[in-house]
Structure 1
Amino acid sequence: MQQVRRESIKDMLRSIGFVNVQELVNRFGVSSETIRRDLEAMEKDGLVRRIHGGAVSTQPVVSESAYTLRRQFHTPEKQAIAHAAANLICDGDTVLIAPGTTTLEIASQLRKRANLTVITNSLPITMELADCAGINVFCLGGHLQGADFSTSGITAMQNLSLFNATKLIIGIGGITPQRGITDYRMEESVLLRAFVEKSDCVIGIADHSKFGVTAMYNICPADRLNHLITDSGTPEDLYKPFCDMGVQVHVAQADMPAL
């Protein structure tokens, strides 16, 4: 059983580049101590580097399948979060949408909006909204990242300088009250920080597996969020500190109907 579990964890690391302890606990039905022992063994083998709340792969990510596989994780939660996030977007808004599988789900729920402007560095989001009559779509050019088909780098930053946004929708790699919002990739984190600076209202989305996780690169302090949307699997004691900071926290129910 241990070997099978560790091979499954290795497959996840090869596909998406990182794992979260709590998510693995829920997935395999074992204790957090068992998962930490698994990650310690993998770290000794040079396969991972442990971080707070999880581990990141030291091996190349299999980028051609990573995005597809990530879309399969927490699907009911992502749909519920997407519904709640879409309800915060109004006709006439100019919205920056960061890359991610949940933000793509949000984009799909905005297709029938009117007089909406969307700015994104995500090719899947661009394609999702390209044929919508009521939505003007601007795709930021730049260095293409194969893992999630997004752009970054100096060209994307220069393109972004042309715009200001009323709202930003950003997927969260990790979130803690002390370290705020963090992410796993250096180039993308630079652009995400600029997204935050360009936006009047920041809407952060994070399923329960992202709480208590600190990734390598800082995006913004937690109190920079105006809204934080999570799923019903997040314990109140994990999201209450953000309420106390003045962030409006929305707990989305997984059985919420689609728009």
Structure 2
Amino acid sequence: MRHTRRETIRELLNNDGYVIAQELVAKFRVSSETIRRDLEKMEQEGDAQRVHGGAISVRRTVNESAYQLRQQDHAPEKHAIAKAAAAMISDGDTVLIAPGTTTLEVATFLHDKSNVTIITNSLPVAMELANSPGINVFCLGGHIRGDDYSASGVMAADNLDIFNADKLIMSIGGISPDRGLTDYRMEESALLRLFINKVDCVIGIADHSKFGVVSRYNICPAFRLKHLITDSGTPEILYKPYQESGVQVHVVPFDI
């Protein structure tokens, strides 16, 4: 019975990304202590991470999907998140924008800003904003990836040295309470760490599918974020740990 119960909990974690302890108590008609032991055991086995009120899935991923496919994934959520992120940019700001399908969407909302300087290693972001009269665009050089047209490597890092910035907007490949922010690519992760060290305000953007995901390369602890923007499809149990660590979490509705 215990084995069957834990297998069912694993299925719930895999399907939903989280479980709530009191719901499990009611579902299986067992005590809170029994569910606590189940979740402790699953955490020890690496299947879950316990958080206040339940547990979240720890999904380890190595490879990311193609850029064109990522543009289509969760498109309504990304649109809403991007609009909220763009609203955090004020006239006169100097902003680092990291590559990503959602950060490119952010760029589309910046055309009417005034006296804003954008520093990016994303060619699509630079091209989106190059003709905007109120925006100065600086594109970092380096080795260009063919799938998303982003620059990385030593040259990009050297180019970054001459700049200072107020804010960073970065897409999050994976976020979990214990591992923080992670990414699929080594060079991109290294450059993101440099980006983060350049600013006081880090704005992380992640749709609900990125929570509980652990990718291959570490970027930084989650508390390094000042703002975390996600969509209303993200259950509170998934983002509450970041609120408790001092991150300002913004949950935005989206239209299907």
Q: Give the TM-score band, short-chain normalised.
A: 0.7 to 0.9
Q: TM-score, length-normalised on structure 1?
A: 0.75
- The answer to whether the 8 Å contact 1:23/1:209 transfers is no
1:22 to 1:116, Cα distance in 2 relative to 1, 3 A: farther
1:134-149 superposed matches below 5 A: 134-149=134-149
SS at match of 1:119: strand
Structure 1 gaps of 5+ residues are 1-20, 25-50
Equivalents in 1 of 2:143, 2:99: separation in Å? 14
Q: Which amino acid aligns with 1:55?
A: T
Task: Confirm or deny: 8 A CA contact 2:58 2:176 kept in the other structure.
Answer: no
Which of 48, 55, 63 does residue 61 from structure 2 map onto?
Answer: 55
Q: Deviations over 1:47-81 (max 9, x none)?
A: xxxx9415335xxx89xxx2222111111000000
State the partner residue of 1:246.
246
Secondary structure (helix, strand or coil) at the match of 1:233 reads coil
Matched with 2:72 is 72
Q: Match of 2:215, SS? A: coil
1:229 deviates by 0.3
What residue number does 1:166 align with? 166
Report matched runs for 1:146-161 at 5 Å: 146-161=146-161
Aligned-CA RMSD value: 1.9
Name the counterpart of 1:187. Answer: 187
Q: Which amino acid aligns with 2:169?
A: I
Identical aligned residues as a percent: 65
Whichever of the two has the greater Rg, that structure is 2
CA distance in 2, matches of 1:206, 1:22: 19
- Structure 1: which amino acid aligns with 2:143? H
1:155–1:168 distance in 2 versus 1, CA, 3 Å: same
- Aligned length in residues: 204
Q: What is the CA deviation profile of residues 94-125 of structure 1, one whole-angstrom value per residue up to 9, with x for unaligned ones?
A: 00000000000000000110000000000000
- Matching residue of 2:224: 224
Could you say what secondary structure the match of 1:99 adopts? coil
**Amino acid paired to 1:85:** A
Aligned to 2:3: none
Structure 2 equivalent of residue 120 of structure 1: 120
Query: CA 1:125/1:22 → structure 2, altered by over 3 Å: closer, same or farther?
Result: farther
TM-score (norm 2): 0.76
Structure 2 counterparts to residues 186-225 of structure 1, below 5 A: 186-225=186-225
Whether contact under 8 Å (2:61, 2:216) holds in the other structure is no
Q: Is the 8 A contact 2:121 2:140 kept in 1?
A: yes
Partner in structure 2 of residue 43 of structure 1: none
CA distance in 2, matches of 1:229, 1:172: 10
Contact 1:22 1:209 in 2 (8 A): no
Amino acid at match of 1:152: S
Residue type of the partner of 2:97?
Answer: I
SS in 2 for 1:249: strand
* Cα distance in structure 2, aligned partners of 1:166 and 1:233: 30
For residues 77-99 of structure 1, give each alpha carbon's deviation from its aligned partner in whole angstroms, at most 9, with x where no partner exists: 00000111011110100000000
* AA aligned opposite 1:124: P
* Residues 85 and 203 in structure 1, CA contact (< 8 A), matched pair in contact too: yes
Matched letter for residue 175 of structure 1: I
